[in-house]
Copies of this chain bind each other. A is one copy, B any other.
Amino acid sequence: MEVISHSNQMRRTADALRASGKKIALVPTMGYLHDGHVSLIRCARKQADVVIVSLFVNPLQFGPNEDFTTYPRDFDRDAALMEGAGVDIVFAPMVEDMYPPGFQTSVVVHHVTKNLCGLSRPGHFEGVTTVVAKLFLCTKPHLAVFGEKDFQQLVVIQRMVKDLGFDIQIIAAPIVREPDGLAMSSRNAYLNLEERKAAVCLSQSLFEAQKLFTDGQRTAALLIDAARKRIAAEPLARIDYIKICDTETLEDIVTITRDAVMAIAVFIGKARLIDNIVLHV
């Protein structure tokens, strides 16, 4: 496993791989890897000759009052995990390499960034699309794998790729959950034991709503109410949003007549956790 920390070296390595006919997959991460990331890497491993994992805590996608400085980091642990998962190249640039003095360019996706996390985290998706565009141009992949846990991010990236014409196949990998249902996330590390137990309310609220949906309920407000009550019953949880949206436009849906995503964001202790479930009509 090769570790590359400079973007120029990454570009030259990607050029050489492409020139020798290798198919490159990129798995972009912010590190502090868990089994969710491993499933992305496995998915990439199946479809490409060379798997590159980028490891970069991107300051652009954190708001001024968010957890950029405290975001968990452990390179040695990540490296062992990636080695075990068959990663070929780790691209781990420094902030100064990605954003040198004078940097002033953004990639902006205008509409699908507005709802959900876009409401709570202004500027977040502009940071995401800008860094992902840079990672794409640097690692030159044929395909890239993103997790469905960050459902809006996935939709935003798909939109950017289509709109700008990146010649990269975007693969969505399903959410990986803990045995009790909690979606895996690096931010779960923020939870103490009590908060960790409380955090199960996210997935349970989604599963309960899904059961109502399967039983025939199509009114979004009623599904949202059911989820809201389940989370409200947990004193350590504070709801940021619970919404049901069109899976492509991410606009709010009143009555579910087409595929929809039920997406939630909940504060528990210092952590802001998100989860979602797709409701297939």
Contacts and interface: CB of A to CB of B under 8 A. Distances in A.
Contacts of A109: 104-105
Contacts of A104: 109-112, 159, 163
Contacts of A112: 104
A137 interface: yes
A225 interface: no
B106 A107 contact: yes
A133 interface: yes
Interface in A92-151: 102-112, 129-130, 133-134, 137-138, 140
A65 to B, nearest CB: 22
Contacts of A205: none
A56 interface: no
A258 to B, nearest CB: 16
A105 B164 contact: yes
Contacts of A102: 159
A5 to B, nearest CB: 15
Interface residues of A, number: 28
A165 interface: yes
Nearest to A11: B167
A54 interface: no
Interface in A161-180: 163-167
A160 interface: yes
A108 B138 CA distance: 19
19 contacts: A11-B165, A11-B167, A102-B159, A104-B109, A104-B110, A104-B111, A104-B112, A104-B163, A105-B129, A105-B164, A106-B107, A106-B110, A107-B164, A108-B108, A134-B164, A134-B165, A137-B164, A137-B166, A138-B165
Given A105-B107, A105-B129, 13 more contacts: A11-B165, A11-B167, A104-B112, A105-B108, A106-B110, A107-B108, A108-B108, A130-B164, A133-B164, A137-B164, A137-B166, A137-B167, A140-B167
